[in-house]
Amino acid sequence: MKKTLAILLSAVMMLGLLAGCGSKTTEQPSTSGTENTETAALNVGVFYYDYSDVYISSVRSSMDEQLKAMGVNYTNYDGAGNQAQQTDQINTAISNGANLLIVNIVETSSPDAAQNAVEAAKTAGIPIIFFNREVSDDVVNSYEKCAFVGTNAPEAGHMQGQMVGEYLLENYDTVDLNGDGVISYVMFKGQEGNAEAEARTQFGVEDANAVLTAAGKPELAYYNASATDKYLVDQGGKWSAQAANDYMATILPEYSEANGNMVELIICNNDGMAEGAVSALQGAGYNTGDGKTIPVFGVDATDSAKQLINEGKMTGTIKQDAEGMASTILNLVSSVQGGGNLMDNTSSFNVDEGVAKIRVPYATYTGE
C-alpha cells in the first residue's frame, strides 16, 4: 500500500511540476510564436550575462515591462556568468525559432565568444543586438544585422573621477582623517580584462587627481604604498559586493584611525562593490548615517545604492540609465518588428562613426 501511495504521490508531484511549467507559460508572453500569426511575429531571445548582477536586473525589469507593452514574444536567459552556458542557450534559442537575439555577452576580454554568437545568428539569418557589455567594432561590422547598445566605457570612469575630485575639494579636511594633507584611497575593480572595469579603474583615479592637482592639492595616495597594483579586483570577475566586502573587512583591522592610516576614500567600479564596502565599514562603526562617514563612490545608480546615498551612507554614483538602455534596445527591436533594419530610427541617438554602436549617456547621482 505504502508503495502504491509513494508512486501515486510521485506521479502527482511530477504532473504538478509539469503543470506548473504549463500554467506559467500561458501567462508569459514568452511562449513560442504559434498563437501569434502576424507576419512580423517576433520571437526574441534575451540573454543576460548574470541575473545576480543588480544593474542587469534593473535593465531586465525595464526590458520585460517594455517588451510586454510592445506585445512581443520573448524569452529571458541567465548566463550565470558562464560563457559556456550562454553559448548553449543561444544555440538552443535559435533551434527553438528565435528570430531576434539580444545578447549581454558574458566574455568581454576577447571578441571570440561574441563572434561565435554573431556567426550563429548569421547562419540563422536573424538580427543580433549586443548590449551593456561591449563587443569589438570588428564583431559588430562582421554582420549587417548586428548592433551594439551600451555606454561609452571610459565616460563612466571620467565622470566618476570628476565627481570624486570635486567632492574632495569641497570636503578636503573632513575626508583627510589623519590630517596629513594626503587622501589615501582604495579602488575596487570588478573584473580583470573587462574594458569598462579597466577604464573605470584608470580614470576614476586619474581624473580625480587631475581635479585635485589643478586646485593645488596633492594626488590621491593608494592606501597600501607597497602594492604593485593600485586596485583590488574581484577574482571571480563578478563585480560582487561580497568581494569588496571581504577586501574591506580585511583592510580595516590593519588600516584604522587608531593607527593613523585609515583608508579615507573608496572608489568602486560598480554600486554592488560600493555597497559591499559600505557594509564592511558599517561593521567597523562607519557610514551608519550619523557619525563618521568614509566617502564611497560607485557606478550604476542602482536603487539600493541611491537609497544608501540618500541616507548619507554612501557618497555618489554614476547613473547608468537602465530604462534608457532598455528603451534604446527596444527602439531597434521595433524597427525590426516593422520590417525594417536595426538602425533605421536611430538618428536621435548618439551613434559611433562607422560602426552600429549606440551610446546611452551617463549622469552623476549624489542624492535627491
Of 40, 61, 71, 110, which one interacts with another protein (CB under 8 A)? 110
The answer to whether the beta carbons of residues 156 and 365 sit under 8 Å apart is no
User: Among residues 192 and 344, whose Cβ is nearest to another protein?
Assistant: 192
Is 93 a binding residue for another protein by CB under 8 A? The answer is: yes
Residue 40 Rama label (left phi>0; alpha psi -120 to 50; beta): alpha
User: Among residues 18 and 40, whose Cβ is nearest to another protein?
Assistant: 18
Is 30 a binding residue for another protein by CB under 8 A? The answer is: yes
Task: Report the C-alpha gap between 325 and 151 in whole angstroms.
Answer: 9
Smallest gap from Cβ 231 to another protein, in A, equals 13
In sequence order, the 6+-apart residues with CB closer than 8 A to the CB of 45 are 74, 75, 77, 89, 90, 93, 94, 96, 98, 100, 101, 102
- Residue by residue, what is the 3-state secondary structure of the chain? CHHHHHHHHHHHHHHHHHHHHHHHHHHCCCCCHHHCCCCCCCEEEEEECCCCCHHHHHHHHHHHHHHHHHCCEEEEEECCCCHHHHHHHHHHHHHCCCCEEEECCCCCCCCHHHHHHHHHHHHHCCCEEEECCCCCHHHHHCCCCEEEEECCHHHHHHHHHHHHHHHHHHCHHHHCCCCCCCCEEEEEECCCCCHHHHHHHHHHHHHHHHHHHHCCCCCCEECCCCCCCCCEECCCCCCCHHHHHHHHHHHHHHCCCCCCCCCCEEEECCHHHHHHHHHHHHHCCCCCCCCCCCCEECCECCHHHHHHHHCCCCCEEEEECHHHHHHHHHHHHHHHHCCCCCCCCCCCCEECCCCCEEECCEEEECCC
User: Among residues 13 and 214, whose Cβ is nearest to another protein?
Assistant: 13
User: Among residues 196 and 207, whose Cβ is nearest to another protein?
Assistant: 196
Smallest gap from Cβ 102 to another protein, in A, equals 14
Q: Which stretch binds another protein (CB under 8 A): 19-27, 128-136, 169-177, 215-223?
A: 19-27
Smallest gap from Cβ 165 to another protein, in A, equals 28
Is 112 a binding residue for another protein by CB under 8 A? The answer is: yes
Q: Is 4 exposed, middle or buried (0-12, 13-18, 19+ CB in 10 A)?
A: exposed
Smallest gap from Cβ 154 to another protein, in A, equals 18
Smallest gap from Cβ 355 to another protein, in A, equals 20
User: Among residues 109 and 327, whose Cβ is nearest to another protein?
Assistant: 109
Is 143 a binding residue for another protein by CB under 8 A? The answer is: no
User: Among residues 146 and 281, whose Cβ is nearest to another protein?
Assistant: 146
User: Among residues 7 and 363, whose Cβ is nearest to another protein?
Assistant: 7
Which residues within the stretch 199-258 sit at the binding site for another protein (CB under 8 A)? Answer: 235-237
Is 190 a binding residue for another protein by CB under 8 A? The answer is: no
Is 323 a binding residue for another protein by CB under 8 A? The answer is: no
Of 36, 82, 256, 304, which one interacts with another protein (CB under 8 A)? 82
Q: Which stretch binds another protein (CB under 8 A): 10-18, 203-211, 215-223, 276-284?
A: 10-18
- Binding footprint of another protein, residue count (CB under 8 A): 50
User: Among residues 14 and 363, whose Cβ is nearest to another protein?
Assistant: 14
Of 49, 53, 66, 77, which one interacts with another protein (CB under 8 A)? 77
Q: How many CB atoms lie within 10 A of CB 235?
A: 11
Of 111, 204, 272, 298, which one interacts with another protein (CB under 8 A)? 111
User: Among residues 47 and 362, whose Cβ is nearest to another protein?
Assistant: 47
Which residues within the stretch 35-74 sit at the binding site for another protein (CB under 8 A)? Answer: 51
Binding site for another protein (CB under 8 A): 1, 3-4, 6-7, 10, 13-14, 17-18, 21-22, 24-25, 28, 30-32, 51, 75-78, 81-84, 87-89, 91-97, 107, 109-113, 115-116, 192-193, 235-237
